[in-house]
Amino acid sequence: MSLSTKVEIYEQSVNALARCVKLEAILRDKDDAVNADAVGVKASSLAALAKRLREEIQAQWTQATPAKVTKLKSLNSDLQQEIAAIKRVIDHAARVVKAIGYVDDVIKVAVGLLT
């Protein structure tokens, strides 16, 4: 059974449990102890079902989460690599500009050697 189906059934179980509890309270208000007890028994079995479903949801949900965390981390790592690649391009351009700046010095050295 899929996780979403279990969550849906759990929701329906809890809602049914609440309706039973409300009905039990109404019957007790009307001093109808026999029917109130009968509804109480139904409520107990619904509560047990809800508890079991809740535990199963927990197990299935907890099992599904790490894979998503790993995938998100991998996507983030890809993005960081792209950011670093762009930075490298600009750094490379900066080195080229800096190299052009040395032309002036090279000429001065050359002139010095020739004269």
Interface ranges with other proteins (CB under 8 A): 3-4, 7, 10-11, 14-15, 17-18, 21-22, 24-25, 28-29, 31, 33, 36, 43-44, 47-48, 50-51, 54-55, 57-58, 61-62, 64-65, 68-69, 71-73, 75-76, 78-80, 82-83, 85-86, 89-90, 93-94, 97-98, 100-101, 103-104, 107-108, 110-111
d(CA 16, CA 45): 11
Contact (Cβ atoms closer than 8 angstroms) between residue 17 and residue 47: yes
In the complex, least distance from residue 95 CB atom to other proteins, rounded to whole angstroms: 10
Cβ-based neighbours of 61, under 8 Å, separated by 6 or more = 3
> Phi then psi for 32, rounded to 5 degrees?
-100, 75
